[in-house]
Amino acid sequence: MPKDLLREAEIARDIVFPPGAEELSLSSSWVYAQILFSLWDSGFYDYVRRHPRFSRAAVVEALGFDPMTFDWLMYYLVGRGVVRAAGEREGELELTEKGRRVHNTIARGLLELYVGGYAGLMANLGPLLRREITIDDPRLDRSARHAAAGTEDATCVRVVPQVIEALREHGVERILDLGCGTGGFLIQWARLTGGGGAGVDMSASALAAAKANAAQQGVSDRLSFHLGEIGERALPIGDDVARTVDALTAMFMLHELGRGGDGAIVRALSALGAQFAGKLLVALEMPPVDVYALNGRPPPAMDALDYHFIHPLSRQGEPRPRDAWRAIYEQAGMKLVRVRRPGGSPVLIHVVQM
């Protein structure tokens, strides 16, 4: 449809002229996020951790960056107040105080999760809306690597310590992590508590990375990793593992089983209950968002809004409210004992007796 630019300008002058922070931030925040993600996903985050003061030449050589592209990324970050000139030597740079605050695991995790994990979905929302592609189009697939890494990074500050506290309150020493991915939670558990356990995941490549990560961090003697899919059958793990674990953990995983409805979650939980009768289950889930109640409030509620928006459009199981989870656990013959919410986070921790 042709645009009447004169009419558009007249309307805008009445509403938003001169442009305010809200209008200007729409595109600028997108550019800023893309720049930080591209750098962090390419090794710059870890490089700056080791080299607080750096030169353009040293970064380009160490990380194999294209010099011109890196120069323009630094140009932008200097303008943003994230990077500044350092010392007497020409070309030396360092993070500003603002830059040091931005370079943290929560910021990196959220960018990995949303910018990296769902880049295909976000780039194809227009074609999906216009019916040029369908919801099953592979271009909408998430990057499992980025989604897993982002979740690990974003939850390690407040959420994981709360999960560990809940487990230790019940005297848990060994856990079985369902959908363990690259082993991030299990490794934190082993290092912080001295405990051990096992992980199960359907991705062979993720399990290979988990084994390598556990060895690198000195806990491989206390952890084992098993290939298997959580569903209506018993998990393909040895009796020694099933017998010796005290609790099961599920990090943002159970809702994924419910793409076709609550029944699939109930059946999977029933199978787990039969195999691990009497054990504890600690599950992390994000609640759904009442958008009319939210109505523009700032984070952390916005994190939950992003999370809930992305799930149905990327063919994942949708978040469910607390009462729905209680009913699901009851139908599976389990009891929801307690729900915890880590401070400053929308995440809910379900403590369930199997």
Alpha-carbon distances, residue 98 vs 84, 144, 166 (angstroms)? 11, 30, 34
54/92 Cα distance (integer angstroms): 6
346/276 Cα distance (integer angstroms): 29
Give the pLDDT of residue 5: 57
Give the pLDDT of residue 89: 72
189/213 Cα distance (integer angstroms): 13
With tokens 């002058």, the residue in question is 13
245/195 Cα distance (integer angstroms): 10
Please name each of the domains of the chain with its CATH number: 5-103 (1.10.10.10), 104-154 (no CATH), 155-353 (3.40.50.150)
Per-residue pLDDT of the chain (354 residues), as tens digits, is: 677 756 776 776 777 666 677 777 788 999 999 999 999 999 999 999 999 999 999 999 999 999 999 999 999 999 999 999 987 777 799 999 999 999 999 999 999 999 999 999 999 999 999 999 999 999 999 998 899 889 999 889 888 999 999 999 999 999 999 999 999 999 999 999 999 999 999 999 989 999 999 999 999 999 999 999 999 999 999 888 899 999 999 999 999 998 879 999 999 999 999 999 999 999 999 988 888 888 777 666 657 889 899 999 999 888 999 999 999 999 999 999 999 887 767 889 999 999
327/107 Cα distance (integer angstroms): 35
Q: How many residues does the chain have?
A: 354
Taking phi over 0 as left and psi of -120 to 50 as alpha, with beta for the rest, 140 belongs to alpha
User: Which two structure tokens, joined as six digits, stand for 333?
Assistant: 């013959």
Residue type for position 32:
Y
37-42 contacts: CB < 8 A, separation 24 or more?
37/111, 37/112, 37/115, 37/116, 38/73, 39/73, 40/108, 40/111, 40/112, 41/112, 41/116, 41/146
Give the pLDDT of residue 230: 93
Give the pLDDT of residue 10: 76
Instruction: Kindly give the pairing relationship between strand 247-251 and strand 92-95.
Output: unpaired
Residue 157 · residue 185 · CB < 8 Å: no
Alpha-carbon distances, residue 100 vs 170, 240, 345 (angstroms)? 38, 46, 22
- HSE of 237, CA atoms in CB hemisphere, 13 A: 26
∠ CA 18-21-23, nearest 5°, is 75
What is the Cα 142 distance to its own chain's centre? Answer: 12
